[in-house]
Amino acid sequence: MATPPIRGDCDPGFERVREAFRENFDQRDEIGAAVAVTRDGEPVVDFWTGHADPARTRPWQRDTLVHLYSTTKGLTALCAHRLADQGKLDLDTPVAHVWPEFAQAGKGEIPVRWLLDHRAGLPALRETQPPAQIYDWDAMCGALEAEAPWFPPGEEIAYEAVTFGWLVGEVVRRVSGRTVGHYLRDEIAGPLGADVHNGLGDAEIRRCADIGALPVPDDLATDGEGDPFTTLPLIAFVNPTGTGDHNSEAHRRAEIPAINGHATARGLARIYGALIRGASQDGVTLLSPEAVDRLHVEGSSGTDRTQGIEIRFGPGFMLNPTAPDTEPLYTRSPRCFGHNGAGGSVAFADPDTGLGFAYVCNRLGPHLDTDPRARALIAACEESL
């Protein structure tokens, strides 16, 4: 199928990004996608094209919103960091100080920081939850209050694939009096004019792309004996099983701040671009320079017990690996921070080059690290500097 015309524009010198974006359609089976880049807070790349549904019946528009999966986590973490920067939340205080019910089952001394670093030992819920419970905030928080840690808190990295949203989100709610979706709108996306959301209304739902099925890597699918609900990896990703209902109206309206943010690439790049060197963007300052510097300080690294891969985290953000001969997640800067989403979406900031980058798509890939389509676009950005 012929590649549709590439929409949008770029600054002189960034034409290679347009070429890489086109190659994703020509060579990597892209259906619909968008990529946006800022440099020192100013837009330098903004491209989109393709179709907003796997059947290729709806053209991708400039304002098409895309389901982000775990790229949402970076936005949720940013809410917590803004509260901390304002002196309203101490990341080193026990979660139970702001959320007393969390102290059950031996969790009374777990600090907020360990939730962000994925070291709280709460990657999943052991008891299978009904699908619709994913939309019941109080029920999911109640289940996590009763859950005992899977691992000694602070000793293991266990990626909180879905639980992260309720864990960090309930802290944000207890401290600010607002849900993550409302806090994100009021304090971050709204002031910046960024088209980024968690929990959609009618107007936003009409702009949503439909995304394809998420491939499950073979090593995450079963326990080797065909039982799909006994391995931590699969339990973490699909309990409740409603996590896969991503094109439904109920899913789009809900706030599940680990996995169901929706955004344009332009909106994501604007937020990450506003974090470069603690910059003020059109008079809006999200974090102080000192707070931004803390986002790329390693909080945990090693083998993730949830996914079985080597991983490195700052407080709520993914960081480039430091092991020799490993591919970076983002640009090659050691100070990059961001978050990838299952299927391919990526958003990050690079304080060394001044880049804020975002890529979103609706054909989902199986990769646990950065998708080859995003890698090609990131490489093109580096070539353009």
**Catalytic option among 70, 300, 345, 384:** 70
CB 118, CB 150: distance < 8 Å? no
Please choose, from the candidates 372, 204, 276, 203, the residue with its C-alpha nearest in 3D space to the C-alpha of residue 41.
276
What kind and span of H or E run contains 109?
Answer: none
Residue 69 main-chain phi, psi, to 5 deg? 45, -135
Say which DSSP state 268 is in.
H
180 token code pair: 């993550």
Amino acid present at 19 = E
Rounded CA separation 379/16 (Å)? 9
The secondary element (H helix, E strand) that includes residue 302 is strand 300-303
Q: Bridge-partner residues for 46, per DSSP?
A: 9, 36
Distant-in-sequence, close-in-space partners of 145: CB < 8 Å, separation ≥ 6: 101, 102, 104, 105
Yes or no: say if 262 and 183 are a contact pair by the CB < 8 Å rule. Answer: no
Spatial contact of 192 and 282, defined as CB atoms under 8 Å apart = yes
Distances, alpha carbon 283 to alpha carbons 77, 78, 185, 277, 292, in Å: 22, 18, 17, 14, 17
Q: Residue 20: name the closest of 41, 43, 45, 40 by CA.
A: 45
Among this protein's residues, is 280 annotated catalytic?
no
Which residues belong to the active site?
A: 70
